[in-house]
Structure 1
Amino acid sequence: MRRAERLHALSEMLRRQGTRGCTAEHLAAEFGVSVRTVKRDLTSLTASGVPIWSRPGPGGGYGMAARASLPPVSLSPAQAVALLAAVSVASDAPYADLAAAGVAKILDVLDPRTRARVDELAHRVWIDRRETPRRAVRSALERAMDEQRVVRIRYVAGDGDVTTRDVEPIMFGSTGGRWYLIGWCRLRSDVRWFLIARIEHAGVTATPCGAHGIDEVGDPPPTARSAQPGGA
C-alpha cells in the first residue's frame, strides 16, 4: 500500500473507531509497518488538518476528534450485505484492502434502521475465508502495476523450487478461484503467470516497465471479462 493510500486508510480507521481510539502498535500491525512509521503518518495527518487526538498512558492511543461526513447513501440492506460478501470472498484480490475500506465508509453513513437490518442479514451469511497473501506482497504488486515498474519477486513453484525474478507487471487475472500476476518475466524472457499465493516476497524497483502489453498475454477464455463495469 502506497503512503498516500495508507494515510487515507489510517484516517478512515480512526474515524470508525470513534471515541475508542487505537494504539500505535495496533495500527502498525494492521498496516504492516513500524510503530515509528505510524506515528510519522499520524503527525502528517495532523499537519494536514485532520482532527486527531492522542491519549497517553494505559488504555490510551489515537483517535479522530470529529467524524468526517459523507453524502447520504441509499442502499437496501440486501445491497449492503452483497457488498460485504463480495469483499469478504475476494479478500485475496488485488486492491482488496481499498475495497474493504470503501465498503466500511458506505456502511458508516447508512441510517440506523438500515444498518441494524444489514447487521441482522449479514449474520446469516457465512464465509470460509482462504488464507490470503501477505499484505506487504499484495501492496507491492499493486504499486508496481499502478506505476508500471519492474517488481522483484521471490517465487515458490509448484515443485518447491524457489527463484528470484524481475517481472514487468502486465495485468492481474483470476481463474479457478485463484489470483495471478501476469507479466513479462525477465528471467525467462517470456510472459508468465505467477500465482500470487506463491509469491513469498515482492519489492518494487525503480526500473520502468518496457513496452509489453495485454495483447502479449493472448486471447482470454470466452467466460473471462475485465473488471470494468459491464466489461467484456
Structure 2
Amino acid sequence: MNKTERMYAVVEELRAVAPRARSASWLAERFEVSVRTIERDLSALQQAGVPIWATNGRRGGYSVDAAMTLPPLNFTPAEAVAMVAALALAGPTPWSDAARSGLAKIAAAMSDADRRSAGELVQRVLVPEQADAGGGIPGIVGQALAERRVLEIDYTDIKDAVTSRVIEPTGFVSVNDAWYVIGWCRLREAYRVFRMDRISAAVARMERAPERPPVDPHGDIPTTVRALSM
C-alpha cells in the first residue's frame, strides 16, 4: 500500500468508527507502519482540509468530523447479512475493497444490538470461498478509472509475451468470470482490452486521461474482448 492509498484508508477507518477515535498507535499497527508515519499522514490530511481532530485522555486519539459519517441506519441484521452474502457471491471485482469499506460504514452506523445480531447471523451463512481481487493491482486500476488517471502497466498476453504499456482506462467488462480493463493503448494507438489477472504491475500517473468513449465506438464489447484480449 503506497502513501496515497494508506491516507485514503486512514480517512475511511476514521469515518467508519466516528465519532469514536483511533489512537496513532492503533492506526500504525493496523496499517503496518510506524507511529511517526501515521502522525505525518494525519498532519498532511489536516493540512489538506480533512476535518480530523485530536483528543487527549485514555480514550483519546484521532477522529473525523461527524458530518463526514453516516447517520444511524435502520438496516435489519438480515439486510446487513444479505449484503455480505451478495459481496461474497459476486466474486473478485476491482471494487472488492470499496465494497468492504462501504459495508464497514453501514455496520458502524447500525445500533450495537443489531450489529451483534448481524455478526451472529453471518456466522451461519456459508458461501464458497473465492480468490480475493481487492487491493493490489485491481484496486490501483479501479482507482485510476474512477479518477481518470493514466496507467503504466506490465502485461503478459496469451502467448506469454510481456510488454510495458501506457494506457488510458475507459471501462471494465466481465466475461466468463474474468475481469478486463478496456482502454486506449498508447503503444498500439488503439483501444485494447487487458485481462486483469495478466497485469503483473500497475502504477497510476498523476496525468489525467483525456475524455474517450468507454469502448471502441466502432465495435461491441464481446467482439472487442475476443479480438483484443488475446
Q: TM-score, normalised by structure 2?
A: 0.71
1:65-144 correspondence to structure 2 within 5 Å: 68=66, 70-90=70-90, 92-133=92-133, 135-144=135-144
Cα 1:13–1:175 shift into 2, 3 Å: same
Residue in structure 1 matched with residue 28 of structure 2 by the alignment: 24
Secondary structure, in 3 states, of the residue corresponding to 1:179?
strand
Listed one character per residue, the Cα deviations across residues 75-100 of structure 1 (whole Å, up to 9, x for unaligned) are 22221111112233446323332221
1:21-60 correspondence to structure 2 within 5 Å: 22-28=26-32, 37-45=37-45, 48-52=50-54
| Matched pairs, number | 212
Cα 1:111–1:13 shift into 2, 3 Å: closer
Residue in structure 2 matched with residue 225 of structure 1 by the alignment: none
* Residues in 2 aligned to 1:103 and 1:164: alpha-carbon distance in whole angstroms: 36
Listed one character per residue, the Cα deviations across residues 43-64 of structure 1 (whole Å, up to 9, x for unaligned) are 3456655344689xxxxxx954
Secondary structure, in 3 states, of the residue corresponding to 2:117?
helix
Residue in structure 2 matched with residue 6 of structure 1 by the alignment: 9
Shift of 1:152: 0.8
Cα 1:171–1:35 shift into 2, 3 Å: farther
* Residues in 1 aligned to 2:163 and 2:35: alpha-carbon distance in whole angstroms: 32
Q: Unpaired runs of 5+ in structure 2?
A: 223-230
- My pick for the range that moved more, 46-55 or 139-148, is 46-55
Opposite residue 24 of structure 1, the aligned amino acid is: A
* Residues in 2 aligned to 1:150 and 1:70: alpha-carbon distance in whole angstroms: 32
* Residues in 2 aligned to 1:18 and 1:128: alpha-carbon distance in whole angstroms: 35
Shift of 1:102: 1.6
Task: Work out whether residues 133 and 197 of structure 1, in 8 Å CA contact, stay in contact via their aligned partners in 2.
Answer: no
Q: Unpaired runs of 5+ in structure 1?
A: 56-61, 222-232
Cα 1:43–1:149 shift into 2, 3 Å: closer
* Residues in 1 aligned to 2:190 and 2:80: alpha-carbon distance in whole angstroms: 42
Shift of 1:14: 6.1
Cα 1:194–1:35 shift into 2, 3 Å: farther
Residue in structure 2 matched with residue 169 of structure 1 by the alignment: 169
Shift of 1:107: 1.1
Residue in structure 1 matched with residue 209 of structure 2 by the alignment: 209
Cα 1:148–1:175 shift into 2, 3 Å: same
Secondary structure, in 3 states, of the residue corresponding to 1:216?
coil
Listed one character per residue, the Cα deviations across residues 91-149 of structure 1 (whole Å, up to 9, x for unaligned) are 63233322211211111222233223312221122334433347242343133213323
- My pick for the range that moved more, 127-136 or 15-24, is 15-24
Opposite residue 70 of structure 1, the aligned amino acid is: L
Residue in structure 1 matched with residue 194 of structure 2 by the alignment: 194
* Residues in 1 aligned to 2:35 and 2:196: alpha-carbon distance in whole angstroms: 27
* Residues in 2 aligned to 1:50 and 1:24: alpha-carbon distance in whole angstroms: 16
* Residues in 2 aligned to 1:98 and 1:177: alpha-carbon distance in whole angstroms: 20
* Residues in 2 aligned to 1:25 and 1:4: alpha-carbon distance in whole angstroms: 14
Residue in structure 1 matched with residue 228 of structure 2 by the alignment: none
Task: Work out whether residues 152 and 164 of structure 2, in 8 Å CA contact, stay in contact via their aligned partners in 1.
Answer: yes
Residue in structure 2 matched with residue 219 of structure 1 by the alignment: 220
- Give the aligned CA root-mean-square deviation in angstroms: 3.6
Task: Work out whether residues 149 and 207 of structure 1, in 8 Å CA contact, stay in contact via their aligned partners in 2.
Answer: yes
Residue in structure 2 matched with residue 224 of structure 1 by the alignment: none
